[in-house]
Amino acid sequence: METPPDKPGPDIGETEEDSGGEVSLQRIQVINLILTVVGAGASLLISYRFALGVLTGGLVMAANFRIIVGVIRSVFLKGSTSPVNVGIYWAKFTALMFVIGFLVLKVRVDAIGLLCGLSAILVAITTEAVLKLSGR
């Protein structure tokens, strides 16, 4: 029969030590812009329209990320759960959908390139998480 450990382990969902600290929102934005510029540059090998889609998508998501960070900060850090903040969030979401629709339907930006640019923020967030977890 095994003896129980001297010190019980952490409860489910808890860690014994900090996993890396706060993420840097500024570094996420910088990584996103770098990925956007590099992706747009590399996309020039495919076509100008595709590269424009990547660049436009990355810039749209950079602006969207800044706005959503402001809304989240006002809700969670300031404790302001007013309907105005919820309205701002939904207005931002609606505006984002209109901007994407306008870019694809009227400006004729390449939709696949736009999606690639829009997803650069996900790579930037993942990169920041990995850097924090590795202690950098």
Model confidence pLDDT, tens digit, residues 4-35: 555 555 544 444 455 556 888 899 999 999 99
Model pTM?
A: 0.76
Residue 12 maps to a domain: no
**pLDDT at residue 30, rounded to an integer:** 95
Whether residue 129 lies inside any domain: the answer is yes
Which of 122, 22, 36, 132 lies closest to 77, judged by CA? 22
> Is residue 17 a part of any domain in this protein?
no
Task: Say if 45 falls within a structural domain.
Answer: yes
Integer distance in angstroms from the first to the last C-alpha of the chain?
43
Torsion of CA 42, 54, 27, 21, to 10 degrees: -110
Domain span at residue 92 reads: 25-133
Tens digits of pLDDT across the chain (136 residues): 555 555 555 544 444 455 556 888 899 999 999 999 999 999 999 999 999 999 999 999 999 999 888 877 877 776 666 777 778 778 888 999 999 999 999 999 999 999 999 999 999 999 999 999 888 7
Please report whether residue 10 resides in a domain.
no
Structural domain tally of the chain?
1
Is 54 part of any domain?
yes
In a domain, 60, yes or no: yes
Position 16 in a domain: no
